[in-house]
Amino acid sequence: MLSKLLKYEIKATGRIFLPLFLALLIFAGITRFISAVGPEKWATPAILSMIIYIIIMVGMFVMTFLMMIQRFYKNLLSDEGYLMLTLPTKPWKHITSKLLVSMLWMGVSVIVAMISILIIAFNKGDISDIAKGFTRFYHLVLEQLGASAYLMTFEIIIAILLSLASGILIVYASIALGHLFSPHRTLASFGAFIVLSTLTKIFFILVSFNGFSNIYFNISSINDLVGLQSTMQMVIGYGIIFTGIQCAAYFTVTNFILSKRLNLD
């Protein structure tokens, strides 16, 4: 069932995002082309297409954010919820499918944005320079850290994905909590968001106080990259655990409300 939900979620959102990505790449190409033709004669069109390019870029990131809210609210908690929530699937699968697809589009947006920048700014030899830089960096890191470099990269990726997920799930949880306050749901959702972020900060401070002594002890022993590395790994480790707990809490709240406290208008 989860795979079917994912399929429909991608269909429903892809029809918005794919044209946006295409438009961004096309305007990056146009900007590049016009600027290449000749700077003086083509100044105005070049600026114009650059502005359109930037607007599309901003629009794309705003859209990933709006879409995340809209797909959750409109598809599950407004009229469309009559269809979605009477399908024979568990609510957690709805939440998971929406979360994963939101993360997917956010990730792809970043990649498409980078490609478009490359299109505009690309010069001959750049690619090999970039590649050279990467290889040098890779060797340097590997030399200093050894095999644990892979572990660290893996940890960083996990940490990024988890923070993205927690950013989305806090919004889902806020909307779900707002849903409990029948006449003023939107206002209540904003209130819930403020309360949830405050609670999270308090929790973070409490956790840091506990972890702080360990990290402090480690910082005092930093005198080379290896020492720095173990401290960094510790910080990232704490970050992963902390963000993971956050995600789990927001997910549990959202799932509880969708399965036990649902009240569709």
Partner 1 sequence: MSVILECTELTKKFASKIAVSGVNLKVERGQIVGLLGPNGSGKSTIIKLANGLLTPTRGNILIGGRKPGIETKKIVSYLPEKTYLNDWMRVHQIIELFSDFYDNFKPEKAYDMLKRLNINANDRLKTMSKGTKEKVQLILVMSREAELYLLDEPIGGVDPAARDYILATILSNYNENATVIISTHLISDIEKILDSVIFINQGQVVLTSTVDDIRDEKGKSVDGLFREVFKC
Closest CA to 247 of 103, 118, 138: 103
79 near partner 1 (CB under 8 A): yes
The residues near 67 (Cβ < 8 Å, ≥ 6 apart) are 13, 16, 17, 102, 105
Of the residues 41, 139, 201, 261, which one makes contact with partner 1 according to CB under 8 A: 261
| Binding span for partner 1 by CB under 8 A among 85-93, 113-121, 153-161, 215-223 | 85-93
Of the residues 6, 26, 85, 118, which one makes contact with partner 1 according to CB under 8 A: 85
Scanning residues 93 to 132, which ones bind partner 1 (CB under 8 A)? Answer: none
The CA-based angle 9-11-14, given to 5 degrees, is 100
147 near partner 1 (CB under 8 A): no
Task: Report the residue number, 138 or 256, with the smaller CB distance to partner 1.
Answer: 256
Scanning residues 150 to 189, which ones bind partner 1 (CB under 8 A)? Answer: 182-183
Of the residues 75, 102, 109, 200, which one makes contact with partner 1 according to CB under 8 A: 75
User: Alpha-carbon distance 34 to 46, whole Å?
Assistant: 6
Q: What is the DSSP string of 154-170?
A: HHHHHHHHHHHHHHHHH
Segment (H or E) for 129: helix 126-145
Of the residues 2, 6, 8, 122, which one makes contact with partner 1 according to CB under 8 A: 8
Number of residues that bind partner 1 (CB under 8 A): 24
| Binding span for partner 1 by CB under 8 A among 60-68, 77-85, 204-212, 219-227 | 77-85
1 to 15, 75, 223: CA distances (angstroms): 22, 17, 53
User: Alpha-carbon distance 241 to 97, whole Å?
Assistant: 23
Q: How far is the CB of 4 from partner 1 (least distance, A)?
A: 5
Chain residues binding partner 1 by CB under 8 A are 1, 4, 8, 12, 15, 75, 79-83, 85-90, 182-183, 260-264
